[in-house]
Amino acid sequence: MRIVEVRASVHQIDGKLPVSGKPAGDTLRVVCEIETDAGLVGLGMTGRFLAHGTAAVINHHLAPAVMGLDPRRVEAVHARMAKLASERGRMSGINLAAMSCIDLACWDLWGKSTGQSVAQLLGGHADGAEVYVTFGFPTYDDDQLVEVARLLVAEGHHRLKVLVGTGHGGRADVRRVRKVREAVGDDVVLSIDANEGIPLEAAVAIARGVEALDIAWFEDPLRNCDARDMAELRRKTMIPLSAGQMDGHGSRFRDWLEHDALDICMPNSMYNGGMTETRRVASLAQIYNRPLSDAGGGGVFCLHHVAGFAHGTLAEVHLGADQVEAALFHKPPTPVNGRTTLPAGPGWGVELDRDRLRATRVQPT
């Protein structure tokens, strides 16, 4: 089986948050499809950052390099792209996002050609994963935040995540998290996420302010998540730390783990170079006895790595990103009573809605 065509396009899907009706954000996606001489088509996707630039890198630089390769030889395809994406040193940003798109499409093809899901190719530990819900967005006022939390618990969810460090101020962040805890009770798992937005001192203050609320993890707690600062924060709080959703390639995780700076590994194959890179991160996590989760709106793609590995724990449900999948896919996986089951088909197990794909396409200006 050989690659005969690679095409990438940009799509915008506008969603609204429940209760407030405000924009959900995270509206752009780069969709990549790879066709083979066997008639199979593989799907890859990446997110909103420099979307038109990412699509251009795929179409004009990476696609010609992988033409004629066997997509099932994912390490060979990945190595070919890596030489183009970065001549030396570490990669991040648009080059990793572009590689992610193609790599994910190759894993989809590998699965389809063998009749297996990507999770099965990774090891097939489980048929799905328990989930947590990212819902606590800064556009919600305190009352709306509490209302959405109660609605989610009523729907069967019992793991929730609230964003902090988003401009409300540290004391307001602590107040908002406390109100959610009071509203949902002690049996609901509650975590917080700073999206790499605050300095060490602010993160320490927030952590100390919410420690008594039984916080399950503090995600991306520091600006740039510097390994030394993460280790310092870890020494100053009892809350487990997690990171990796946007730049979680293998070298990044190695730094965190060697500095004893991380409790939970959260790679996202839409941004880190693809499932080939996530597989490397998963091996590191196993060696260091760290659980493997996901974050950053990776949806069905990250669900497969959480289900595939024995140390996979929780997959993310994201109130914004999940609306994108609901718009672009026929029958995307949805959670039931706090758990999402893998789709039944091979590869990712999802198929694009061609009508919606055409309707949402954004042409470069």
Q: What is the mean pLDDT of the chain?
A: 96
Distance between CA atoms of residues 197 and 201, nearest Å:
12
* CA nearest neighbour of 285 among 265, 304, 268: 265
- What band does 27 get if pLDDT is binned at 50, 70 and 90? confident
Domain at 346, CATH number: 3.20.20.120
Sort 172 into a burial class: Cβ within 10 Å, 0-12 / 13-18 / 19+.
Answer: middle
Q: Give the model's pLDDT for residue 48.
A: 82
Is the pLDDT confidence value at 88 over 80? no
Q: Give the model's pLDDT for residue 246.
A: 87
Same domain? For 135 and 100 the reply is no
Same domain? For 109 and 95 the reply is yes
- For residue 8, give its domain range: 3-115+353-362
Same domain? For 199 and 340 the reply is yes
State mean pLDDT over 320-326.
93
Q: What is the DSSP letter of 47?
A: -
Same domain? For 190 and 321 the reply is yes
Q: Give the model's pLDDT for residue 25.
A: 81
Distance between CA atoms of residues 322 and 201, nearest Å:
33
- What band does 365 get if pLDDT is binned at 50, 70 and 90? confident
Same domain? For 27 and 152 the reply is no
Same domain? For 125 and 274 the reply is yes
- What band does 193 get if pLDDT is binned at 50, 70 and 90? very high
Same domain? For 195 and 291 the reply is yes
Q: Give the model's pLDDT for residue 225.
A: 96
Same domain? For 155 and 269 the reply is yes
Is the pLDDT confidence value at 204 over 80? yes
Domain count, the chain: 2
Query: Alpha-carbon Rg of the chain, whole angstroms?
Result: 20
As a whole-number percent, the residues of the chain with pLDDT over 90 amount to 92
Q: Give the model's pLDDT for residue 175.
A: 98
Same domain? For 202 and 339 the reply is yes
* CA nearest neighbour of 33 among 312, 335, 348: 348
Same domain? For 214 and 255 the reply is yes
- What band does 93 get if pLDDT is binned at 50, 70 and 90? confident
Kindly report, residue by residue over 279-307, the tens digit of the pLDDT. 999 999 999 999 999 999 999 999 999 99
Distance between CA atoms of residues 328 and 99, nearest Å:
21
Q: Give the model's pLDDT for residue 163.
A: 97
Contact 291, 132 (CB under 8 A): no
Is the pLDDT confidence value at 91 over 70? no
Same domain? For 54 and 104 the reply is yes
Domain at 11, CATH number: 3.30.390.10
Same domain? For 218 and 85 the reply is no
